[in-house]
Chains A and B, each alone.
Chain A
């Protein structure tokens, strides 16, 4: 087996390879960028919650509108994402349940509701719970590529435009609030973006593997960088690289593309972890 058959030939097998890689890279980059802010706000596990509750959002939207079109799906996921954010925040404010458990209670309940509604009332919808979980990179329709591309641009534009308030609100929310930064609105905006991204991504990588795309690049970049803009760049690079290598791996092994991308991403994280543990020359300043 030559390098040519391993690395070049897959690109000649049809445009699904090109489109799959493009979709996966877009998912990797947009999730990595959003994930950095979740990670730094210690909200990594909200991504777990939002990824799960996309399902009840989709099912709810289908039951209300009878359509599985993109508009209904996005609004459904956005609605259930914001509902989850509100419920978790409400339980947290009431103060009788631990924060991590509050997340767990809310998303498992909503996800359970989604699965039941799906099987009991919406079995004729073109939604399959295990496909929602695992995704299908190669079966992504063209319009989804445009959606993902637009979303990536929107996220980058939002980060650039709101750089200073975002930076401050992420690092020190209390000071940001004092200085008049609308921290609550930024938080909701972030959660909304994550919800929409989850829906746009899950056709490709599946709801749960979105969690990996949101958390792992951010955690890797956090180990390797010292400043926020560097962290965002490294995370985006990690997302794109995992997508490309994962694509190759899935072609070679003929296995799940999303799963392969997650495995590659995790390996990159562990490599970064081992590398960052190596004591650097000179040690700490005296």
Chain B
């Protein structure tokens, strides 16, 4: 634990970008929070909040597979591999719920654990292999925002741009398809295309967030800012904006905490900040129900 004066000093260093890499760290953490907040809100409203958990875990075998095949830690194969396995997990969940009487929550749990188990197998083979790219495992599990590279920040910025453009342009069809899928289908909205588009974007976003948030806790960044935003807002666009804001602030605060306390991974710190915001929002909401009841009377 750093002393108070140390903590103040490091805080000043962090927010004045005292090291070159801090600019990338802060930008990356904020982008992760923003993307996860927006996509997480859409997943939350479709009752797919825990899909973020499954996709995060399912990225692990993709990362390990890319390591095994290419033998080094290049960004492109890692992102492609992880996105591929995350998407495959999403498709598996959809397929199981369509064709069997297995319950949707169990389907999600099966896919999550099966893909994570496969990841564990591949990683153990990787660790035994001479190339020994094992040092990154803890960072993949829990995230290390400070080690983010400009290339990864660029990827995050690209995903953020696509997400924001997509949500802005397709706001109405997305709203209708999320609220009333039947009505959307009847109105000619291509709900299937939107669903798979959202899945693909989520998989990509989760993979890109792994460097900062880690595969285990990226779910927290998907679920918690969205759930907090839902408590504070009454309309979809407000919820999206609030979730993006809460996510971005939690991301930056998490990166700061991780910088402040060496050894603390950034993923858990981000999720804890988001959970604090949720706790405050929950308390505010508990104090307010009378107003809502009067409005309904």
Contact = CB atoms under 8 A, between A and B. Distances in A.
Indicate whether A and B are direct neighbours in the complex (CB within 8 Å).
Answer: yes
A80 interface: no
The A interface, classified by DSSP as helix, strand, loop or mixed, is: helix
A113 B276 CA distance: 11
Interface of B: 1, 44, 47, 49-50, 52-53, 57, 96, 99-103, 105-110, 112-114, 116-125, 128, 137-138, 141-142, 216-217, 219-220, 222-224, 226-227, 230-231, 261, 263-265, 267-272, 274-275, 278, 282, 285-286
A98 B49 CA distance: 9
A44 B109 contact: yes
A188 interface: no
Given A105-B227, A273-B96, A262 B272 contact: no
Contacts of A208: 57, 113, 116, 216
B137 A96 contact: no
A42 B105 contact: yes
A208 B112 CA distance: 9
A115 B113 contact: no
B49 A104 contact: yes
Nearest to A258: B120
A254 interface: yes
6 contacts: A91-B282, A101-B227, A111-B220, A219-B106, A258-B117, A269-B110
B269 to A, nearest CB: 6
Contacts, number: 214
Given A104-B224, A219-B102, A45 B50 contact: yes
Contacts of B268: 111-113, 115-116
B103 A277 contact: no
B49 A212 contact: no
Q: Which 6 A-B pairs have the closest CB atoms?
A: A262-B117, A108-B220, A259-B120, A212-B113, A109-B275, A266-B114
Contacts of B267: 112, 115
Contact of A212 (B105, B110, B219, B278): B110
A257 to B, nearest CB: 9
Given A44-B105, A212-B113, A101 B142 contact: no
Given A104-B49, A105-B278, A130-B137, A112 B220 contact: yes
A279 to B, nearest CB: 13
A44 B138 CA distance: 27
Given A211-B109, A255-B125, A259-B117, A97 B230 contact: yes
Given A44-B105, A45-B108, A208-B116, A96 B142 contact: no
